Amino acid sequence: MNKCVFLDRDGVINKDNPNYTYRIESFEILPGVLEALEKLKAAGYLLVIVTNQSGIAQGIYNQQQMEACHAYFQKMCSNRIDHFYFCPHHPTVTASIARKPGTLMFEKAIAKFNIDVTQSWMVGDRGRDIIPARQLGIRTIQVGDEIETGERADLQVERLLEAVPIILT
């Protein structure tokens, strides 16, 4: 079985934008992210992004724009991401069990990559990232402090790079 670090995208990998990040020129990779991914990959972790991309359902941007951002990020991180799972739905437009805090994106990755959840981690910046991981028995780390008290992760850091020594020990 494989060990994995699941990563939220906006707010963990790139600067979060309340108006959505869907243009390459606006895709600002956060400090330390590339180094963190390099260290995690070198330690044998699969790296899987699980991200809600509800701006697609809302007509703000399209899937091709999102995929262009992902391709750009893959180039910048030397193709270290093993897979991007995204949910394009938004509850005001169409419901989906794939949307976090649902567990479907995680479950797809677990099945596809034969992931051992007891050796895996989720790093997110919102309760909707932490809830599904916790339901599946995945340890959790939150970036920042904007998570509601009842949904806080097991551990807290300011940036992804600070999570690396925690994950590796």
Residue 37 vs residues 2, 84, 112, 146: alpha-carbon distances, Å: 16, 14, 21, 23
Q: How many CB atoms lie within 10 A of CB 45?
A: 23
125 classed as catalytic: no
Residue 87 vs residues 33, 115, 144, 157: alpha-carbon distances, Å: 23, 20, 23, 26
Candidates 8, 16, 125, 129; catalytic one: 8
- Structure tokens belonging to residue 12: 């963990």
154 classed as catalytic: no
**Dist CA 36 CA 106 (whole Å):** 21
Candidates 10, 16, 125, 129; catalytic one: 10
Q: How many CB atoms lie within 10 A of CB 50?
A: 26
The residues assigned a catalytic role are 8, 10
